[in-house]
Chain A
Amino acid sequence: MTLDIRDLVVEHRSPGRPVVRAVAGASLTVSPGEVVGLVGESGCGKSTLARAACGLNPVTEGSITFEGRPVAPLGLRRRRETGIQMVFQDPYASLNPRRRVGDQIADGLRTARDTAATPADLLERVGLPRDFAGRHPHEFSGGQRQRVAIARALAARPRMLIGDEPISALDASAQAQVATLMRDLAVDAGAGLLFISHDLSVVRLIADRIAVMYLGRIVEVGDTAEVWANPRHPYTRALLGAIPRPDGMGVLPAELPGDVPDPANPPGGCRFHPRCPLVMDVCRDEEPRFGPVACWLHEAK
């Protein structure tokens, strides 16, 4: 098991505000060569989980281990764990606008003490011409920038790649391409990939397993095909039902009533019960703390 997240709790504290439990007891594992898609609405804690897995957010409770060792919080200058690399959401913000992309990719190579490869090799691997290494980020389109960001992450020879909504800032035409590219490169390198997205159709395309997150907890985990064909948690069903299909039929997608509740003040019992169409009495009183489907309708016998 490469990345093992157990009962993770991450709290955001800010003065004068109540403590927000962004992740409230989530468990997830990612094996080498495996692609896990993490989906959920915004504000459900997916990004916090990813950032914690990479040491960017301090852990309040629970544990995150990578290859048996706990993931240390990221220091100011030194980073011990370079086996986990992250690709961020917005390539317009994650690349340094004042440095040539080749230099930025070379940073990754230096971390991995890789003297054989050159930035141009990595650009080639992500499908960009070799001579782009001398250019600055503003000379690229969004999709190309994200490819550069992926090249930079790969340069450090990660054994785990984390993509935090890496495609949501891109065009529809580039989204599927970049997602497939990430999958192929991670799998080729034998690294695990934790791919976070709110776009279920892309996750379906590239992920081996899907984890669905709601308000800080993972409510359903399963094989992609299985979850897609037979979503069991009412929330997963609602998410899949909300995707509009380009079939030209003019069917408005089903609406899930209400908004994600405030994570500072989550509802008691099952976190989904105020919006759940199949709510029962037990849901209001007790939180389902089991997997792979955290719903009282699917309690393990």
Chain B
Amino acid sequence: MTSRSVLDISGLKVSIGGREVLRGVDLSLAEGRVHGLAGESGSGKTMTGLAVLGLLPHGARATGRIALGDRDLLTLPPRELNRVRGGEVAMVFQDPATSLHPMLTVGRQLTEHMRHHLGVDKAEARARAVELLGKVRIPGADEAFGRFPHQFSGGMRQRVAIAIALACSPKVLIADEPTTALDVTVQAGVLRLLRGLCDELGLAVLLVTHDLGVMSAIADEVSVMREGLVVETGPRGQVLREPAHPYTRSLLDALPDSSPEPPGSAPEPPDARTDSSPDSPTGETA
């Protein structure tokens, strides 16, 4: 698969109050690929995501280059940046209960930025929103449009948040721990959805997560961060099965379940994606 690189982060350094949180991060996101970013909290994985959108906390100074096409997001004037975020680069946050506005209907939150970025009229925005709600598989999309976030369950809320992120057909989606607040059964659904959307719409996804199981399920490439540096990066199969860096190995060993799969687990569903990426060298034979 030859996929075009959409977003290139090179030599990204971020310092807050004199402390360097990112010490030169290089990452590259390609069309239709999920790039997983793993690491402990405090390793700077969330900061990397925020830096792309220019959402760094006050007093943070970023140097380096974040290239989206031929533009450098770090030097873009605010007006230009506003056109990018929510439009070409969208984000899904960890907790849908706090990332959605509790007092606005889901429909309002779905159409607001669409009208701003795409300049569509009310009726068209609504039609698109309902279509999106259907795409993220929310039952009764038409009624759901007029409902408030509290009327949805956690998994459904995260689906809404994903729909909002996708509303302006972004090229890049940054998902910061999108399933951490969810139950395993719901997580499975959201992961399937994310993977499906990535394949279908050719999104470049940066998946920030500490859960290596989640990483293994949907990421194509995996980067491991530690103390503001990417210590290892490579195809999923390679990083998770034959970690080259001792830190990656220690992360994998720290998992409570490092033994091979439990013998009595549910049989694999027939549609399970068994490694469709040809560039995972280890494959099933390892």
B-binding residues in A (CB < 8 A): 41-43, 141-142, 171-173, 175-176, 179, 198-202, 204-205, 228-231, 237-256, 259-260
Contacts and interface: CB of A to CB of B under 8 A. Distances in A.
A176 B282 CA distance: 28
A204 B262 CA distance: 11
A177 to B, nearest CB: 8
Contacts of A251: 216-217, 268, 272-275
Nearest to A43: B153
B280 A253 contact: no
B153 A248 contact: no
Contacts of A259: 153, 155-156, 186
A133 to B, nearest CB: 24
Interface stretch (B66-74, B99-107, B250-258): B250-258
B155 A171 contact: no
B211 interface: yes
Contacts of B241: 247-248
Given A228-B262, A230-B264, A245-B257, 5 more contacts: A242-B187, A242-B188, A251-B274, A252-B218, A259-B186
Interface stretch (B6-14, B24-32, B48-56, B232-240): B232-240
Given A172-B40, A172-B210, A198-B183, A244 B264 contact: no
B215 interface: yes
Contacts of B249: none
Overall SS of chain B's interface: loop
A205 B259 CA distance: 11
Contacts of B273: 250-252
A42 B96 CA distance: 15
Contact of B185 (A41, A142, A204): A41
B41 interface: yes
B282 to A, nearest CB: 7
B218 A245 contact: no
A205 B239 CA distance: 24
Contacts of B246: none
B274 A239 contact: no
A118 to B, nearest CB: 30
Nearest to B252: A246
A198 B217 contact: no
A242 B191 CA distance: 11
14 contacts: A42-B154, A171-B210, A172-B255, A176-B256, A198-B183, A243-B213, A244-B211, A249-B274, A249-B284, A250-B220, A252-B188, A252-B217, A255-B188, A259-B153
A251 B188 CA distance: 11
B257 A205 contact: yes
B237 A253 contact: no
A206 to B, nearest CB: 8
Contacts of B263: 229
Interface string B269-286: 100111111001010100
B197 interface: no
A238 B268 CA distance: 11
B257 A255 contact: no
Nearest to B283: A249
A244 B36 CA distance: 14
A256 B269 CA distance: 11
A249 B239 CA distance: 11
B261 interface: yes
A248 B286 CA distance: 11
B175 to A, nearest CB: 15
Contacts of A198: 183-184
Given A205-B257, A244-B211, A255-B188, A41 B272 contact: no
Given A248-B280, A251-B268, A259-B155, A171 B255 contact: no
Contacts of B117: none
A97 B269 CA distance: 48
B146 interface: no
A246 B210 CA distance: 11
Nearest to B276: A250
Contacts of A244: 187-188, 191, 211, 213-214, 216-217
Contacts of B113: none
Given A244-B211, A248-B241, A254 B254 contact: no
The 3 closest A-B pairs by CB, nearest first: A241-B266, A248-B240, A244-B213
A43 B152 CA distance: 13
A248 B188 contact: no
A229 B264 CA distance: 5
Given A172-B211, A230-B264, A249 B185 contact: no
